[in-house]
Amino acid sequence: MRISFQEELDALERLLHAESELVLRSLRGAVEAVCAQDVELADEVIAFDDDVDAQYFEVEQGIELLLARQTPVASDLRLVLAMLKDNLHLERMGDLCVTIAKLTKLTKGLPPDQTLLDGFREMGERAEQMIRVALRSLEQRDRIAAESLLELDELIDRANRRIVNRLLEMGHEIEQREWGLRMILVSRCLERIGDHAVDIGEQTAYLVTGEFREFTDASH
């Protein structure tokens, strides 16, 4: 029994979960900042990304060391590979939150549209739920829960499409045009966070079944 190896694996998994908590904080901050047009909060989100990145590097280096020293195989190997990819997906989610925060700063003082802001709140909540489901499915090695992310992704995609349609309606209102153009990107960022959550779910399915498979080609 390789006790120290198992402990290292467990510790890495805990780090990954801690990283997801940081990403969730970042996501909540980014959505709140854009909806409240709160530039200070946006700055905080941008600065907070250093914490997410630090956690990302810690997981990355831990995996590098584990691969070099322990040569994991079978389900251990699949777990390490899944964590390696999940780590990158989480870090990307953090980056998307930063993009939302930057767009918030760029649109300071421009007139917003309440329907869109409500849409962002909905997308933010859905993205948060997807991250939780993704991480819980990893923790519990639950393939069914991981696959349910596909349905959740459809909901966030629909919200994204509604936002784009609303923006098209707004196209003729000159003063809202710049705000609207930037907000298309915010919507896109939230939708992409959902895609990363689906990708984490795919890694869980791989970990459990040993089969590489995309849930659907349409998830991107």
Partner 1 sequence: MTQIGLDPGRANDFTPREPVFQVRDLAVSYSGNLAIRDVTLEVYEKAVTAFIGPSGCGKSTLIRCFDRMNDLVPGAKVEGEVLYHGQDLYAADIDPVEVRRRIGMVFQKPNPFPKSIFDNVAFGPRVLGLKGDLTERVEQALQQAALWDEVKDRLKESALGLSGGQQQRLCIARCLAVEPDVILMDEPASALDPISTTRIEDLMHELKQQYTIVIVTHNMQQAARVADMTAFFSVEVAADGKRTGVLVEYDRTAKIFTTPSDQRTEDYVTGRFG
102 binds partner 1 (CB under 8 A): no
69 binds partner 1 (CB under 8 A): no
2 binds partner 1 (CB under 8 A): yes
The sign one gets for the Cα dihedral 98, 152, 131, 144 is: negative
Place of tokens 């393939």: 143
Q: Which two tokens stand for residue 208?
A: 């459990």
CB of 180 to partner 1, least distance (A): 47
Interface with partner 1 (CB under 8 A), residue from 40, 68, 74, 220? 74
Alpha carbon dihedral 20, 23, 24, 30, in 10-degree steps, equals -170
Q: Nearest CA to 119 among 76, 170, 73?
A: 170
Pick the closer one to partner 1 by CB: 73 or 174: 73
CB 127 within 8 A of CB 64: no
DSSP secondary structure letter of residue 23: H
The sign one gets for the Cα dihedral 87, 88, 92, 98 is: positive
Q: Nearest CA to 59 among 32, 31, 88?
A: 88
Interface with partner 1 (CB under 8 A), residue from 39, 77, 150, 155? 77
Pick the closer one to partner 1 by CB: 121 or 141: 141
CB 75 within 8 A of CB 151: no
Tell me the residue ranges of DSSP E strands in the chain: none
Pick the closer one to partner 1 by CB: 172 or 213: 213
Interface with partner 1 (CB under 8 A), residue from 14, 210, 214, 216? 210
CB 150 within 8 A of CB 198: yes
CB of 18 to partner 1, least distance (A): 25
Pick the closer one to partner 1 by CB: 111 or 210: 210
Q: Residue length, the chain?
A: 220
205 binds partner 1 (CB under 8 A): no
Interface with partner 1 (CB under 8 A), residue from 40, 68, 73, 114? 73
215 binds partner 1 (CB under 8 A): no
Pick the closer one to partner 1 by CB: 43 or 76: 76
Selected range binding partner 1 among 74-82, 157-165, 179-187, 194-202, rule: CB under 8 A: 74-82
Residues at the contact surface with partner 1, assessed by CB under 8 A: 1-2, 5, 71-78, 210
